[in-house]
Every structure is written in structure tokens, then in C-alpha cells.
Chains A and B, each alone.
Chain A
Amino acid sequence: MYSYNDFDEAFVRERVSQFRGQVERRVDGSLTEDEFKPLRLMNGLYLQLHAYMLRVAIPYGTLNSGQMRQLAMIAERFDKGYGHFTTRQNIQYNWPKLPDVPDILGALADVEMHAIQTSGNTIRNVTADHFAGAAADEVADPRPYAELLRQWSTDHPEFQFLPRKFKIAVTGSVNDRAVIAAHDIGLQVVDRDGQRGFRVLVGGGLGRTPMIGKVISEFVSEADLLPYCEAIVSVWNLLGRRDNKYKSRIKITVHEHGIEDIRARVEERFAHVKPTFGGVDQVLLAEITEAFAPPVYRATSVAAYEAVRDANPAFRSWSDTNLSAHKVDDYAIVSVSLKKQGETPGDASADQMRVLADLAERFGHDELRISHEQNVILPHVAKGDLPQVYAALRDAGLATANIGLISDIIACPGMDYCALATARSIPIAQQIAVRFDELKLEHDVGPLKIKISGCINACGHHHVGHIGILGLDRAGVENYQVTLGGDGTQDAAIGERAGPGFSAEEIIPAIERLVFGYLDLRSEPEETFLQTFRRLGMEPFKAVLYPDKEGKRDAA
């Protein structure tokens, strides 16, 4: 993976040192909160309901074991012994104290990490497919491009005061695991006529006004990637609505001007921008690509793995749900669930982080990934090592066999932590997961993505959940709206609102009705919830969600 060069190192260290001075001046009273707030946000430091929160970027979700151990150390020394992995491949610490934050940033810099541009109206952490570099179905590893974009966007002088935040995601595969259609720019690596390039989407996003990204170009060559992205951001930087925060994102700009108009403006701008790049980006890209060379794979006994699979039903169940196809036959991609039923989605204790770091080092070519679905990935595990990996995960409470199932829920921190939230998300996720575990139904129900947001900003991606849950404040009471039929893959779709919301007490039984309703409605056990919804539409699901209403309608 990529290692900082002298420039990166000096830049990050300087920012830590600047922030140390800023914190000192805030603490001694020479900076007011109004003066300090933009400075702390530039360094990922928020002030939440109960404490400060530090959001640390994990570029394209990639970590090595040393970095994971440092995240564990920070959790233990400066926080309450855990960290929260987010839907944007970041980690958040919920309890740092202001005077400690410069030391935390220093500890991050020691392992080539930082919290720069994890907040504010800038280009945020560039995210990527969490199976990058390992997936059997990918055209190319998207991470070199994500790293190139990270270097280009970090402290980019033109893009420090954008109309609003700006998010870029990259996938190297047709099967989109990075939700690129819900990003300001979504990039898909493609090969065309022997040439490497990108299919480019623009103007996707969730939040208050959810939009699926539109194709601005079917093919941008590798050499044109940075100038083309610069042209997009530059056009929006001038055109984007600064008068109204709710209309400032590029999705609204694209919606208001139309994709043809935006495409024409971007192409015009591109013609100006392209000559200014002069090829240095391609030199960098070549160096970066070298840093992402695949590991030297080892040969292990697949027979031993098969034997344990036959002998141990728990291992078999876990390997059925938590393994994905690796591009090398005798390897597997291991998804480690941070969704043990009843636990907080995305949270890992310092001990668990160290177990994951050790496993990556011993069995995983020293690589870890964080997924936007708030799980941890060991991308390169030889099949012969899987029984040992499984045993270690089980001992650490990390062997929950539920990837892609109903309890593998995305949930934002909600009003348990977040100052913007309008309702809690975590307890709803916990209760749903526990309920379906009690019913022993998860595996019968099959693939089902529930995504929960505690406010309209949609950090929990509820719009693209097969079942989406949005927590709102209705006249001083928590209320949960249900959307159905959302999809975050290459067939991206925004979920449709089912009807009136439910109270905190009503929402779990409502989800239960919905799932039992699906089991009755599906044409065969292989038909997934989403397929059934697409076949039948909203009405039959609405009928099971709102049985009383249906009864009244029948009676009328």
C-alpha cells in the first residue's frame, strides 16, 4: 500500500503543529468558539451532544496492521476503549478531550494518518470498494486512482471553500460495492478498446434531496482523470448555490441546469485545465500504482479448509455468509462483521482492533479494509488459513455469520451522539438485530439490507436500504419513517416512502410484519426481498405494514 513521501509527512506534521497552537489559543481564551470552529473542523474535530468527536480518515478504507494497532492505542489512551467505523470509511472517536486532540493527531501522523478534510466544505475522504485489489470481478484495483485523487484534493487551494462538502467514490468493478451513484462524483474503472479509463457519474447524493448520479461521461481516459475531476469541481465551485445550504450540493446544480448543460461547461473548462497538468499526475500515478502491487500469494491446503467446513457447521455457516470470491482461486476475502446482534453497528473495541491487526499480519498480507457497511475486511486470506482465522475471530466476538443479512444493519450514530440527529438510530438497529436472532429467521430471510439514519442527512444511507428507516422528531417524540426498495449497487435506486411513520415502540413490530409479509409474498425461497418488492411493488408491503388501515379500507 501507499506510504507517505517526505512531502506528505511534512504537510501532516505541520498541520498537527498548527492545530496544537490553535488549541492552546482556544484554551487560554484568545480564540472564541466562532473563531476556533472552522479551524477544528478543518481537522475533523466536531462538538457533539456529550463530547467532542474526532473523525479520522481511512483513505479508500485501507489500513495496515500498524495503523489498526495505533487506532486501538488511541481508543484506549484517549477515548473510552473503542472506535466507531462509519459509512464513509472513517473512524470516529466519541469522547476525546480538547487538550488531547493535538497528541491524538500526532499519534495518527506517526502511522501516516490524519483527520484533514473529514469535515468542512472541501473534498472529503475518497472512498472505494472495500474488496479493492482482491475482488474476483474487478477490472483493476481502484485504490491507486483513489490515492491520486486524495493527493490532488488534499489542501487543493481552489477547493478549500466549496459551496458545500464534496464526496468522491471509486469502484474497480461493475458490481458496485462503493455506492458510487450516491456520490458527488462516482467513478467506475473500465477498459475500452484496450485503454484504461473511467465511467464518470456526477450529482448523486442522499440527504434531504436524494438523487442517483447521472453519467456525465461514458469514458474518461486514465490520463484525463484529474483534469476532468478538476473541471467538474471547478464548474460547480462557481455555479453551485451558496445562497441556500439545502441547494448547494452538486446534485442540485446538475438537477437545475441539466446534465447536458453541466457536461458542456465541464468540457469547456476541461480544455483550459488539461494543459496545466503537464503529466506530473501521470508520473505520480505510476509510482502510486507500484505501491499497490498485489501481495505475493502463498499456497495452502484447500483440502484442510474443506475438511473443517464439513466437520464444523458453525464454521460452514460463517464461511457461507462472510466469505467472498477472491481473484486468486485458493484465497478468500473475509468480511468480519461488526454487527454482532445487540451490539452497536460499526463499533470495535481496542482489543478487537488488535485481534484484527494480528490476523492481518499473520494471515492477511498485512492488509485490512473498512467497508462503508461498517464492517472490517481481511482482503487476502489463503483458504487453508481460514479455520485459524475463524477461531481467532470467534474468541474475540467477531465471528458473527451475518454479512448481507437482516442484522448486518448500517446505522449512523443518531441522537445517542450526534448533535444534528433528530432521533436515535443505534437502539433501533440493536433491537431489530436481536429480534430476528431470537426468531432464528435471518438465514431463511436471506439477503436484506436495512439502513437506518437518525436524521434527514442520511449518513445511515436509508434511501438505498432495501428497508430504510429514517428517525425524525415529530412534535417532540421520536418517529421512524420506512422506505422500501432502495438499492445501493450498480442498479441504484432510491427507496419509496411506505406511509406514515412509527413510534419507537411500533417500529420493531412493523419491521417484523414487513419481513413476515415478504416471506409470504416471495415466489420462491431464492427470491430476495428486493426482487419481491420489484416484482410486486409497494401495495402488498404497505398492506402488511399498515394492517389496521387496510382493515378500515376493506370495511369502508
Chain B
Amino acid sequence: MAKAFTSKVVTANALLEGDAVWLTEDDRWTHDIAKAELLTDEAHADLRLIEAQMRQHEIAGAYLADAIETPDGPAPVHFREDFRTRGPSNYFHGKQTEA
């Protein structure tokens, strides 16, 4: 049996600032992963990634990252993706200052 699909979000770096962004259901880029579109179907996820990659004037390096559903919205699974939602641990810089 094929391995069960792990839900995903489309993420990338914003073109001008270079910071982490996530794709929303209504085709915006958000700074908050909780507002991202959670992709539970593999074929749909692949399609959304292709659509994201076509938006070259807005972002760079789009990819699919594992995410889980929480009451607040999608949340990262891997610690790397978790760090991308916050910023570095040595200074109060990056996303953690936006909250």
C-alpha cells in the first residue's frame, strides 16, 4: 500500500525581503503559516506548488513543507520549518517580532 500522504503547505521566500512566506487558499502570500492553505491531497498539493512556482516576480524557491492541522490553523512539523515561522534564536529578529 502506498504511504499515506502527509499534509503540506506551500512555502517560499519573498522576492524582495527574502523572508519566509506561505501560500493561502485565495492565492496570497502570508507571513503567518496559520493562515496558509493546508493541502491534504497529494495531486492538489503538486498543482498548488506548480502554480506557486509560476509567481516568480513575488517569491523564490517555493517548495512543499509538511504541516499539521491545529485549532489555530496549519503548523509546522519539522524544527527547520518551525524556525522559519519565528526567526533566529540568538536575537529577537525576524518573524517573532511581527507577532
Interface residues of A (CB under 8 A from B): 26-29, 32-33, 47-52, 80, 94-99, 344, 347, 415-417, 424, 426-427, 430, 473, 476-478
Contacts and interface: CB of A to CB of B under 8 A. Distances in A.
Nearest to B80: A415
Nearest to A422: B80
B15 A98 contact: yes
Interface residues of B, number: 25
Interface of B: 13, 15-20, 56-57, 60-61, 77-80, 83-84, 87-91, 93-95
B15 A417 contact: no
A94 B79 CA distance: 20
Given A50-B95, A97-B16, 15 more contacts: A27-B57, A47-B61, A49-B20, A50-B18, A50-B93, A50-B94, A98-B16, A98-B17, A98-B18, A344-B90, A416-B88, A416-B90, A426-B90, A427-B90, A430-B90
B73 to A, nearest CB: 20
Contacts of B90: 344, 347, 416, 426-427, 430
| Max chain A C-beta neighbours (<10 A), residue from B17, B19, B90 | B90
Contacts, number: 74
Contacts of A51: 13, 17-19, 94
Contacts of B87: 50
20 contacts: A26-B15, A32-B56, A33-B56, A50-B88, A50-B95, A51-B13, A80-B93, A97-B16, A97-B17, A97-B18, A98-B18, A344-B90, A347-B90, A415-B80, A415-B83, A416-B88, A417-B88, A424-B89, A426-B90, A476-B78
A93 to B, nearest CB: 11
B61 to A, nearest CB: 6
B89 A477 contact: no
A33 B61 contact: yes
Contacts of B95: 50
A424 B89 CA distance: 9
A247 B19 CA distance: 33
A163 B53 CA distance: 29
A75 to B, nearest CB: 13
| Max chain B C-beta neighbours (<10 A), residue from A29, A416, A427, A476 | A416
Given A33-B61, A47-B61, A50-B95, A416 B89 contact: yes
A473 B88 CA distance: 17
